[in-house]
């Protein structure tokens, strides 16, 4: 009989207060994982940790921190590991979207996206990796996006940030495999999270709920998969788009709507 995967595992999730991060925590709660929750909003995290304990998780602790702040992240992870034990699995999920329209390109917005999506992932990994290397075991996962594979209108900085995560995890996988540490890249398409507007929810095809995303991610982590792109139809379209002549691609995307910013 196969031993259950999650009971007793210490799982640290960044961006845990909403969207994919919250859905993943709620998915893992009844499966016996010990959950370390990181996000900026302490009140929301505290409410979530209480509800997870009520749902039967082995343990759930919250540590408020901005992932772009390396010192704050190190302190948050240290506090969570003091309460839960060494981190077995990190899910670096925190991310934001800001438009990068060429007509009014905003460097401050660009820096915010890079700080959260790229530096935030680096800070989370840096906080747990030394311990994993000492123990000779562990699992790193980070949430990128199918947007890393395609050029979408007004989304250049967001795409660049997610492409950086893809490249980072590809390289870490090579370096960490001999040390007994697994690496999983998570690449969702459009997921129904607070990032989307109501209008986008009506028009986006192949929209995945946060709960379905959590199930797919958990299954990929259980199986130790190197990559988890979903939904498959969106991933295939993105891959196919890469083979189109550049002129044809530009004409097609000229009519594609820009994503709106939410949760600013």
92-140 pLDDT, tens per residue?
999 999 999 999 999 999 999 999 999 999 999 999 999 999 999 999 9
Whole-angstrom Cα distance, residue 62 to residue 89?
Answer: 16
Q: Are 19 and 45 in contact (CB under 8 A)?
A: no
- Residue whose tokens read 């969106």: 234
Q: What is the pLDDT of residues 145-169, one digit of tens each?
A: 999 999 888 899 999 999 999 999 9
Looking at 97, 158, 249, 256, which residue is catalytic? Answer: 158
pTM above the 0.85 mark?
yes
> Which pLDDT score is estimated for 195?
67
DSSP 116: I
Which has the closest alpha carbon to 12: 128, 129, 176? Answer: 128
The residue ranking higher by pLDDT, 232 or 201, is 232
When the pLDDT of each residue in the chain is averaged and rounded to a whole number, the result is 92
Calculate mean pLDDT across residues 177-194.
92
Per-residue pLDDT at 199: 63
Q: Would you tell me how many other CB atoms lie within 10 Å of the CB of residue 188?
A: 24
Displacement of CA 162 from its chain's centroid (Å): 10
DSSP type of residue 150: S
Q: How far apart are CA 109 and CA 261, in angstroms?
A: 11
Residue from 163, 142, 140 nearest 151 by CA = 163
Q: For residue 26, give the nearest of 57, 68, 1 by alpha carbon.
A: 57
35, containing H or E segment: strand 34-39
pLDDT at 264 over 50: no
34-85 tens-digit pLDDT: 999 999 999 999 999 999 988 777 799 999 999 999 999 999 999 999 999 9
pLDDT of residue 36: 98
Residue with the larger pLDDT of the pair 3 and 122 = 122
pLDDT score at 144: 98
Closest CA to 157 of 117, 123, 200, 197: 117
Residue 249 has pLDDT above 90, yes or no: no
Q: Which helix (H) or strand (E) holds 80?
A: helix 70-84
Q: What was the pLDDT predicted at 253?
A: 74
> What's the average model confidence in pLDDT over 240-256?
81
User: In the block, which residue shows the tokens 């994919």?
Assistant: 20
What pLDDT digit, counting tens, does each position of 186-231 carry? Answer: 999 988 876 666 666 666 777 889 999 999 999 999 999 999 999 9
As a whole number of angstroms, the distance between CA 151 and CA 140 comes to 27
Annotated catalytic residue 158: yes
Domains and CATH numbers, the chain: 10-253 (3.40.50.720)
């Amino acid at each position: 009989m196969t031993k259950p995967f999650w009971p007793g595992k210490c799982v640290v999730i960044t961006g845990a207060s909403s969207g994919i991060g919250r859905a993943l925590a709620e998915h893992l709660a009844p499966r016996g994982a010990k959950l370390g929750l990181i996000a900026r909003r302490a009140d929301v995290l505290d409410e979530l940790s209480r509800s997870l304990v009520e749902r039967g998780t082995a343990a759930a602790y919250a540590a408020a921190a901005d992932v772009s702040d390396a010192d704050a992240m190190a302190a948050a992870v240290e506090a969570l590991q003091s309460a839960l034990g060494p981190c077995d699995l990190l899910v670096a999920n925190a991310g934001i979207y800001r438009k990068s329209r060429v007509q009014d390109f905003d460097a401050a917005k660009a820096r915010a996206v890079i700080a959260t999506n790229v530096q935030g992932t680096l800070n989370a990994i840096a906080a747990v990796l030394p311990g994993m290397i000492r123990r000779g075991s562990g699992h790193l996962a980070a949430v990128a996006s199918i947007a890393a594979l395609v050029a979408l209108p007004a989304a250049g900085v967001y795409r660049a940030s997610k492409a950086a995560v893809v490249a980072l995890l590809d390289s870490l996988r090579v370096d960490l495999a001999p040390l007994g540490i697994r690496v999983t890249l998570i690449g969702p398409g459009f997921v129904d999270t607070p990032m989307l507007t109501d209008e986008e929810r009506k028009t986006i095809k192949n929209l995945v709920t946060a709960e379905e995303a959590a199930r797919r991610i958990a299954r990929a982590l259980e199986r130790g998969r190197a990559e988890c792109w979903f939904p498959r139809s969106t991933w295939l379209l993105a891959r196919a788009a890469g083979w189109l002549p550049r002129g044809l691609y530009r004409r097609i995307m000229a009519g594609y709507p820009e994503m709106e910013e939410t949760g600013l």
